[in-house]
Amino acid sequence: MRRMRSSETIRNLVRETRLDPAEFVLPLFVCPGEGVRREISAMPGNFQLSVDELVRECQEVKALGIGGVILFGLPETKDEMASGAYADDGIVQRALRALRAQVPGLLIITDVCNCEYTSHGHCGKIVDGEVDNDQTLEWLAAAAVSHARAGADIVAPSDMMDGRVAAIRHELDAAGYSRIPILAYSAKFASVFYGPFREAAESAPQFGDRRSYQMDPANGREAMREIELDLEEGADMIMVKPAMPYLDLIHEARRRFDVPVAAYQVSGEFSMIEAAARNGWIDHDRAMLESLTSIRRAGAQIILTYFAKPAAKLLRR
Ligand code: PBG
């Protein structure tokens, strides 16, 4: 076996998995104001950006050949009804219009969820202390339509309500957006690795947790059912999230379903590598590329990752 490993040129020839920045999607956080570029303390190199700064960031993203961005919004105010999620002049909607005008050709995905917009931080409408499934669907569909109207290329529901893909598909079609694809966060687990994101998006639940809607990390077969249901409801692409702790499910999804499979290398996965590298305990660039390669090798074609920019820079050399 060692003959095939004996030089970099041979290793390069027989390498089975390659990374391409065109398959990366960079998550970005957009906030009110002007000239705002506030670093997220647990996620070095990631910022809350006002719309003008977001435009600059996206110009760089596009120049690096990165596949696209996924937008998360921090609204001016939050309320019980998540009004900011589906307002026509909401923060993500404004960002979309600016990006459409100023960064032509950039692929823009929007995260469709309510947790950044509710005063209680849950992903839906609270009725009798619980997140009500079917009333939440109306908000989600309204948010998706408002994103499409403002110029989103793809909408990505991350709430984990039942039936949301069908509800969103139906309302998009009714509003004349039948060409807009849905990337479903199908197998999204109630994961501890979202910790740093909740600081970034200011979306930590104010009571309880998300275990009554996000999946139990122990359940792989149930993940396949979630994916199957989302595809039946009209999802065009599916996602497994987080990525590295769930490589088995990425692989299984790739084997079973002939649709584009995405994986989200989430905030905690990113922050662990950053923290270890900052302590001198691990080589940053090698850990970054090895983690991305493992996700690609498991079968994810599209990788949502906070490493999109530094990885793209390394890969271009
Ligand atoms: C919104 C959402 C979350 C993430 C993506 N969309 C947080 C959550 O569900 O609590 C996490 C992303 C990350 O950790 O990088 N529902």
Q: Give the per-residue pLDDT at 316.
A: 87
The answer to whether residues 108 and 68 touch, using CB atoms and an 8 Å cutoff, is yes
194 lines ligand 1 (CB under 6 A): yes
| Cβ pair 26, 264 in contact under 8 A | no
CA distance 270 to 101: 31
How many beta carbons lie within 10 A of that of residue 228, not counting itself?
Answer: 15
pTM, two decimals, is: 0.97
**Concatenated DSSP letters of 35-83:** S-EEE-TTSTT-EEEEHHHHHHHHHHHHHTT--EEEEEE--S--BTT-H
What pLDDT is recorded for position 306? 98
Residue 158 Cβ contacting ligand 1 at under 6 Å: yes
Q: 109 CB under 6 A from ligand 1?
A: no
Inter-residue contact 160 to 100 (CB < 8 Å): no
Q: Is 241 an active-site residue? A: yes
Atom of ligand 1 nearest to the CA of 188: 9
pLDDT mean values, one per 10 residues, the chain (317 residues): 98 98 98 97 96 98 98 96 97 98 98 96 94 96 98 98 98 98 98 94 91 97 98 98 98 98 98 98 98 98 98 92
Q: Of ligand 1's atoms, which has the minimum distance to the CA of residue 267? A: 15
SS3 313: helix
The alpha carbon of 197 and the centre of ligand 1 are apart by a number of angstroms equal to: 6
pLDDT of residue 282: 98
Dihedral, CA of residue 61, residue 62, residue 66 and residue 68, to nearest 10:
90
50 has which bridge partners?
Answer: 31
Q: Which of 62, 78, 125, 188 is catalytic?
A: 188
Distance 194 CA to ligand 1 centre (A): 6
User: Which domains are present in the chain?
Assistant: 19-315 (3.20.20.70)
Q: Which atom of ligand 1 is nearest to the CA of 196?
A: 14
Cβ partners under 8 Å of residue 6, min gap 6: none
Residue 122's pLDDT is what?
Answer: 94
Closest CA to 243 of 187, 202, 282: 187
Specify the residue with its C-alpha closest to ligand 1, atom 8.
Answer: 194
111 CA distance to ligand 1 middle (Å):
9
Q: Report the pLDDT value the prediction gives residue 272, as an integer from 0 to 100.
A: 98
Q: Is the CB of 48 under 6 A from ligand 1?
A: no
Cβ neighbours for 45, distance < 8 A, ≥ 6 positions apart:
39, 274, 306, 309, 310
Structure token pair of residue 243? 């990525």
pLDDT on residue 293 = 98
Work out which ligand 1 atom sits closest to the CA atom of 270. 15
Task: Please indicate whether residue 70, judged by its CB atom, sits closer than 6 Å to ligand 1.
Answer: no
Whole-number Å distance, alpha carbon 46 to ligand 1 midpoint, is 15
Compute, in angstroms, the gap from residue 67 CA to the centroid of ligand 1.
Answer: 20
Q: Is the CB of 117 under 6 A from ligand 1?
A: no
- Ligand 1 binding pocket includes 123 (Cβ within 6 Å): yes
User: Which of 43, 110, 158 should be mutated for ligand 1, with most atoms under 8 A from CB?
Assistant: 158
User: Both tokens of residue 123?
Assistant: 């992903």
Separation of alpha carbons 247 and 108, rounded Å: 26
| Tokens of residue 214, six digits | 């996000």
Instruction: Give phi and psi for 189, each to the nearest 5.
Output: -95, 150
189: CA distance to ligand 1 center in Å? 10
Report whether 43 contacts 271 (CB < 8 A): yes
Residue 208: DSSP 8-state? S
* 188 catalytically annotated: yes
Closest C-alpha to 290, from 258, 60, 280, 277: 277
Give the pLDDT confidence of 22-75 residue by residue, as tens digits.
999 999 999 999 999 999 999 999 999 999 999 999 999 999 999 999 999 999
User: Residue 36: which residues within 8 A CB-CB, separation 6 or more?
Assistant: 48, 49, 50, 53
